[in-house]
Amino acid sequence: MSSASRGSGLTRRQWLHAMGRRSGGAGVYAAMSFLGLAEASTATPAFSLGEAPKGATVLVIGAGVAGLVSALELQRAGYQVQLLEYNDRPGGRSWTLRGGDRYTELGGATQHCQFDQGQYLNPGPWRLPYHHHGVLSYCKQLGVALEPFVQVNHNAYVHSTRSFGGQPQRWRKVQADFQGDVAELLAKVLQQRKLDEPLTEDDRERLLAALRNTGGLDNEMRYRGGFAASKRRGTEPAQDDGLHMVKDHEQPRSLQEMLDPEFWARMNESRDFEYQTPLFQPVGGMDAIPRALAKAVGPKIRYRARVTEISQDDHGVVARYEDLNRPGRMLTARAQWCVCTLPLSILSQLEIRVGDELRNAIQSVPYFAATKVGLQFKRRFWEEDEAIYGGISLTDLPIMQIGYPNYGFQGRKGVLLGAYTFGTNAYEFAAMSPAQRIRETVRLGTRIHKQYPAEFENGMAVAWHRSPFTLGCFGWWTEETRARHYPAMLKMDGRIILAGEHASLLTAWQEGAVLSARHAITQLHKKAVGA
């Protein structure tokens, strides 16, 4: 029986139309390419500014990745640099939470991290694509050790409340069934010689052989339960010693069960250029990168400095800031030039003396909503019970995805990324208290992993719109705002220039911060030398 008719009631034409509705990803990719999001970074390891004018001074505002890279490269060129940072640590959104840490969000809710030693959560960036050459070059320069980040784990789950009876499915089985159905349909078209372009008989036979191999089709060019399909789908462990019982092959899922567009949209995200393997993560937490940069910058960073005003004239730039170690005490920092890396969500609320063009750009970019919830469990049940080592499970529940730790394999405890929410889901989580977010994450996650209630110990929840130092996750450009305001974002305004992921085409990525920082200080250097 053809898989195209296993209880589906769909004609081939209807099925192909359904595929077309799901393939909106091509349009998304085109838009991403326009915005620069699907391109390899142009950063090179050999970046150098050249020699700074004698005695030239620069004020860098914000010690996130963009600010740290700016300060480091300016110092290497010979500039005298001072750096102001709101937090008591470097990194901004490149941040790691560990046991003993405290975090207070807007509204005053304070969380005390209780993770065991060696366990951690990256509330912000958590992976490094292989084509983010700028970040990777600084890791190499500064001795930041890297390890693999598992993006796709074929034994993790995909889950839809509308499909498969609401039961989680292994990624490998869903992918195999989809590819098998597609291969079978194409094979039928090919056998009927209905392709738009004529093929030689030899070409046709070779293409049929390729479809049979790719889709796990049997000798009759059908996708159904059998050895070929099971090689792709895998089989669940036998209940005996694994040596005597020969299991029957499972019947693949019907095509009708595979047609949830939201379900496929989530699965296909990992095929996007940014998530293609290999990916990496710093050993011990993402903050290893900004800590290494800050160490290289040296004692030029003033922490706990809340900037309230930035002004400039023909001679230099002045920033007023509050010393948060002594609340109410106002100080000033002066320099000939300024690189401002504050998120636009913060900068738009400050007094800054720039022209209307840049001011309008600063005020025109909203920030994307996201929430992350980390959960520590008594044992690594996902490994012990379900053989899931790293990777991500996807769901249409509000938690959206579950990320399994890519370190400490076969250890005793572990911290899962229990929720990584965006958009409306993130706003709803942000409206809850941290304790409520954690409880909701455990409640919803139990539908994927029944072990949650018995194994849960503690958690941390970061809603980025409640973060006092960013008020959001990352700058959310549209094609319209890019066309209207992005050029102004990249230009120097007098003695001030902006940098950060928001002033790049790789928004939401640390690589965007690196590229932006290098662009900004290059413009500053040209103007300083010219002056």
**pLDDT of 473 higher than 90:** yes
**pLDDT of 143 higher than 50:** yes
pLDDT of residue 508: 94
User: To the nearest whole percent, how much of the chain has pLDDT over 70?
Assistant: 82
Distance, CA of 474 to CA of 488 (rounded, Å) = 18
Q: Where in the chain is the domain with CATH 1.20.1440.240?
A: 3-35+171-259
Distance, CA of 307 to CA of 85 (rounded, Å) = 8
Confidence of residue 375 (pLDDT cuts 50, 70, 90): very high
User: If you average pLDDT over residues 475-480, what whole number do you get?
Assistant: 94
Backbone angles phi, psi at 53, to 5 degrees: -60, 145
Confidence of residue 76 (pLDDT cuts 50, 70, 90): very high
**pLDDT of 158 higher than 80:** yes
* Long-range contacts of residues 253-257, Cβ cutoff 8 Å, at least 24 apart: 253/164, 253/169, 253/173, 253/174, 253/177, 254/3, 254/6, 254/7, 254/8, 255/3, 255/4, 255/6, 255/8, 255/10, 255/15, 255/181, 256/7, 256/8, 256/9, 256/10, 257/163, 257/164
Q: Which of 91-105, 143-157, 243-257, 376-390 has the lowest mean pLDDT?
A: 243-257
pLDDT of residue 140: 97
Give the residue with greater pLDDT, 380 vs 11: 380
Distance, CA of 286 to CA of 144 (rounded, Å) = 10
Helix (H) or strand (E) holding 486: helix 479-490
**pLDDT of 15 higher than 80:** no
pLDDT of residue 30: 33
pLDDT of residue 197: 62
pLDDT of residue 21: 44
Instruction: Copy the structure tokens of residue 431.
Output: 């409206």
Distance, CA of 354 to CA of 350 (rounded, Å) = 11
pLDDT of residue 114: 98
**pLDDT of 527 higher than 60:** yes
pLDDT of residue 413: 98
Confidence of residue 242 (pLDDT cuts 50, 70, 90): low
Please report which residue ranges of 216-287 form alpha helices under DSSP H: 227-233, 261-268
Three-class SS state of 512: helix
The listed CATH number (1.10.10.1150, 1.20.1440.240, 1.25.40.10, 1.20.1250.20) that belongs to domain 3-35+171-259: 1.20.1440.240
User: If you average pLDDT over residues 161-171, what whole number do you get?
Assistant: 87
Listed residue (90, 124, 110) closest to 473, CA to CA = 124
Confidence of residue 1 (pLDDT cuts 50, 70, 90): very low
What's the distance, Cα to Cα, between the start and end of the chain in Å? 79
pTM (2 decimals)?
0.85
Would strands 110-112 and 102-104 be described as parallel, antiparallel, or unpaired? antiparallel
pLDDT of residue 258: 63
**pLDDT of 452 higher than 90:** yes
pLDDT of residue 24: 36
Confidence of residue 26 (pLDDT cuts 50, 70, 90): very low
CB 370 within 8 A of CB 420: yes
Q: Kindly report the CATH number that applies to the domain delimited by 97-154+277-286+368-466.
A: 3.90.660.10
**pLDDT of 19 higher than 50:** no
Highest-pLDDT range among 56-70, 190-204, 253-267? 56-70
**pLDDT of 111 higher than 80:** yes
Q: Where in the chain is the domain with CATH 3.50.50.60?
A: 57-91+290-364+479-530
Q: What is the mean pLDDT of the chain?
A: 87
pLDDT of residue 289: 98
Residue with tokens 């094609």, as numbered in its chain: 479
Q: Which of 60-74, 133-147, 184-198 has the lowest mean pLDDT?
A: 184-198
Distance, CA of 107 to CA of 129 (rounded, Å) = 35
Distance, CA of 238 to CA of 267 (rounded, Å) = 28
pLDDT digits (tens, 9 = 90+) for 379-417: 999 999 999 999 999 999 999 999 999 999 999 999 999
Listed residue (101, 73, 106) closest to 88, CA to CA = 101
Confidence of residue 31 (pLDDT cuts 50, 70, 90): very low
Three-class SS state of 154: coil
Fold of the 57-91+290-364+479-530 domain: FAD/NAD(P)-binding domain (3.50.50)
Q: Where in the chain is the domain with CATH 3.90.660.10?
A: 97-154+277-286+368-466
